[in-house]
Amino acid sequence: MSDWQQITLGDLQTPSCSQEAVPPQGQRDTMSAPVHDGHGTKIEAGWVRAPLARFLTPNMESVDVDPTRMYPTIGVLNRGRGLLYRDAVAGSSTSYKKLNLIRPGMLVYSRLKAFEGAITVTPNDLPESFASQEFPTFAFASDADPDFFRVLTTTQSMWDALQRASKGMGGRRERVKPADFLNIVMDIPPLLLQRRIVEVIDVIDRQIAALDEEAEALDRLSMAVAEDMLAEEETVALGTMLIDIRGGKSPQANNRPPATDELGVLKVSAVTPFAFHPEESKCLLPGTIMPESALVQPGDVLITRANTPLRVGAVARVPVDVRGGLYLADKTLRLVPSSELDPDFLVVAMALKSARAHLTSSATGSSASMVNVSQDRIRDTPIPAADLGRQREVSSAVLSVRANTDAVRAEATRLRNTRSSLLSGLLDRTIEIESAELGV
């Protein structure tokens, strides 16, 4: 029996009829209740309902930018996924006069992207790092376990609370101010229980990490197969094998994802190499008119023309079962191959080392977090000049390996859903942990 099975069967339980009744979720005032004073209220065996200011203290340390120095910089990924490690920037190349010093073991969030759950706790082994002053940092009280708060930043409750605290008028003007962040109210367990929850969740997180590593190894294997099968082929410019490159439009949209009966527009994160993510979309504002040519269709081959330096030029094919009513934004393009170019092979070819090197070296932009590739540079991308038969042979071999990758990722997704449900139950106390250490 695995560690995970031992924990779920031996340490966790849902309260029975003989235990104190727990009102259904939605009827309990937990996790993000409004606060009317600055004092926490003691609840349920050591749990405390209080504003985050009860457990966190602003701890921002800024430095003057020295034009002769290089500054290793970080960002914060959305949905509590940790830090984004960026290339070091020269002090002489940035317009910032000051940068925040980001230390290990601190809570940090992006004021600009907080509504997307861009919050985390920095790892204990974080090397010297910096960020703009849009990234406030906080130290922990003695009864706040940093690892527990790292887990807390991965919850829907935290993301929802951040979204409600976001103020401004759309797009880049929306922000979560530190004072509003610290006023978010949550139910926090006593320190020993914080640590026990971390132990339980870490078991699942290790299994998820192992599955992610396996999927990445299969990714590398699939591309090694492609590189080997195409090693002797001459190359041609992609543009000679295309009918057209069609763009989308940048419309006004809400930050929330569209419901099944609502129109949506793709976010740049909707396209990653070989994978299309329709859930990465935003709801169009009522009355927004989009061109019919921007409507996403099953079988489309899409490429991101704007993204981070490592992700720009990502290509994927839209599956046949994609939901309707999704549109391309201006950062995503549709590649329309000629009859001489197999669509699946096009996706493979654009993931080859030579194509990736061309696209990343062709990217331009003043921001370290977002660069662009022009349509002309996309057309210039070298791809193997294989005939249709060879194209289909190669794509079939690559997609066969990637079918295993997809299966591993599906298992990781299932485990993430289990983690989310378990953590939600632990935090709203519909699932309890039995432990002699805790005296229960």
pLDDT band at 438 (very low <50, low <70, confident <90, very high): low
Cβ–Cβ under 8 Å, residues 119 and 108: yes
CATH number at residue 128: 3.90.220.20
Helix or strand (DSSP H, E) at 139: strand 137-140
pLDDT band at 34 (very low <50, low <70, confident <90, very high): very low
Whether residues 227 and 238 share a domain: the answer is no
pLDDT at 19 over 70: no
Residue 92's pLDDT is 94
How many angstroms separate the Cα of 189 from the Cα of each of 59, 427, 432? 23, 8, 12
pLDDT at 89 over 80: yes
pLDDT at 208 over 60: yes
* Range scoring the smallest mean pLDDT among 26-40, 300-314, 346-360: 26-40
Q: Looking at residue 364, what DSSP letter applies?
A: B
* Range scoring the smallest mean pLDDT among 89-98, 129-138, 219-228, 358-367: 358-367
pLDDT band at 173 (very low <50, low <70, confident <90, very high): low
> Is 85 inside a domain boundary?
yes
**Owning domain of residue 210:** 192-231+388-440
Q: Per-residue pLDDT tens for 397-421?
A: 999 999 999 999 999 999 999 999 9
Residue 259's pLDDT is 86
DSSP helix/strand/coil, 4: helix
> Is 3 inside a domain boundary?
no
Cβ–Cβ under 8 Å, residues 217 and 29: no
Residue 261's pLDDT is 84
Average pLDDT over residues 74-81: 94
> Is 202 inside a domain boundary?
yes
Cβ–Cβ under 8 Å, residues 197 and 204: no
pLDDT band at 306 (very low <50, low <70, confident <90, very high): confident
Cβ–Cβ under 8 Å, residues 390 and 168: no
How many angstroms separate the Cα of 27 from the Cα of each of 13, 48, 360, 364? 21, 18, 51, 51
Q: Per-residue pLDDT tens for 381-392?
A: 999 999 999 999
Q: What is the pTM of this model?
A: 0.76
CATH number at residue 196: 1.10.287
Whether residues 238 and 205 share a domain: the answer is no
Whether residues 212 and 333 share a domain: the answer is no
State what percent of residues in the chain have pLDDT above 90: 69
Which of these, 239, 353, 369, lies nearest to 361 by C-alpha position? 353
Cβ–Cβ under 8 Å, residues 218 and 403: no
Domain final position from 349, 369, 385: 385
Q: What are the b/e assignments for 15-31, b being 16+ CB within 10 Å?
A: eeeeeeebeeeeeeebb
> Is 12 inside a domain boundary?
no
Q: How far apart are CA 194 and CA 141, in angstroms?
A: 13
Helix or strand (DSSP H, E) at 186: strand 185-188
> Is 14 inside a domain boundary?
no
Number of domains into which the chain is organized: 3
Q: How far apart are CA 45 and CA 188, in angstroms?
A: 11
Domain final position from 345, 363, 385: 385
Cβ–Cβ under 8 Å, residues 122 and 77: no
- Terminus-to-terminus CA distance in the chain, angstroms? 25
Whether residues 243 and 324 share a domain: the answer is yes
Name the phi and psi angles at 278, rounded to 5.
-60, -25
Whether residues 332 and 284 share a domain: the answer is yes
Residue 58's pLDDT is 97
Residue written as token pair 């109210």: 185
pLDDT at 40 over 60: no
Whether residues 59 and 153 share a domain: the answer is yes
> Is 10 inside a domain boundary?
no
Average pLDDT over residues 113-129: 95
Whether residues 199 and 183 share a domain: the answer is no
Domain final position from 153, 188, 223: 188
Whether residues 339 and 425 share a domain: the answer is no
Whether residues 55 and 133 share a domain: the answer is yes
Whether residues 393 and 245 share a domain: the answer is no
pLDDT band at 371 (very low <50, low <70, confident <90, very high): confident
Cβ–Cβ under 8 Å, residues 13 and 434: yes
> Is 21 inside a domain boundary?
no
Whether residues 257 and 118 share a domain: the answer is no
> Is 2 inside a domain boundary?
no
Whether residues 205 and 225 share a domain: the answer is yes
pLDDT at 43 over 60: no
